């Protein structure tokens, strides 16, 4: 099955609250003002137990920043899906928090690349 390139959504929300103290989020009437609120994205991520896990991140200043972050997350997921099972486990269980990308050095250690190697043929950086 081919991956869906249109996965995830980008939206704007804020932290305003109603009279009962509940967050208005994307329903805030002040979001008509472009300076109010921040941009966020949400995407359903695969999990080892086949249950849907939604990854949400917010705090982006522009829609383009949120789209770029979403694209980065999806690219990391695609890279992990073509990798070994150990890397997939590392991506899905990074630090016990769902959706948090693991550290580059941890992935390199899992793959067996030393920290001084680069992806361009193992040339050490100064």
Query: Residues of the chain with pLDDT > 70: what percent?
Result: 59
Please indicate, yes or no, if residue 91 is contained in any of the structural domains.
Answer: no
What per-residue confidence (pLDDT) applies to 6?
75
Q: Please give the backbone phi and psi of residue 10, each rounded to the nearest 5 degrees, phi first.
A: -115, 135
State mean pLDDT over 53-81.
87
Residue 98: which pLDDT band, with cuts at 50, 70 and 90?
very low
Q: How many domains does the chain divide into?
A: 1
Is 94 or 13 the better-scoring residue by pLDDT?
13
Please indicate, yes or no, if residue 51 is contained in any of the structural domains.
Answer: yes
- How far is Cα 106 from Cα 46, in angstroms, rounded to an integer? 20
Residue 97 is inside which H or E element, if any? none
- How far is Cα 91 from Cα 68, in angstroms, rounded to an integer? 19
Please indicate, yes or no, if residue 110 is contained in any of the structural domains.
Answer: no
What per-residue confidence (pLDDT) applies to 42?
93
- Structural domain range at position 40: 9-82
Tokens 């329903």 belong to 27
């Amino acid at each position: 099955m081919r991956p869906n390139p249109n996965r995830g959504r980008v939206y704007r929300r804020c932290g305003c609250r109603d009279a009962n103290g509940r967050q208005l989020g994307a329903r805030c009437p002040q979001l008509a003002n472009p300076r109010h609120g921040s941009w966020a994205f949400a995407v359903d991520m695969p999990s080892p137990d086949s249950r849907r896990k939604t990854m949400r991140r917010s705090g982006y200043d522009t829609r383009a920043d949120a789209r770029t972050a979403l694209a980065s997350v999806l690219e990391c997921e695609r890279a992990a899906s073509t990798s070994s099972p150990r890397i997939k486990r590392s991506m899905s269980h990074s630090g016990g928090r769902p959706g948090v990308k693991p550290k580059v050095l941890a992935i390199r250690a899992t793959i067996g690349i030393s920290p001084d190697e680069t992806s361009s043929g193992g040339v050490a950086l100064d």
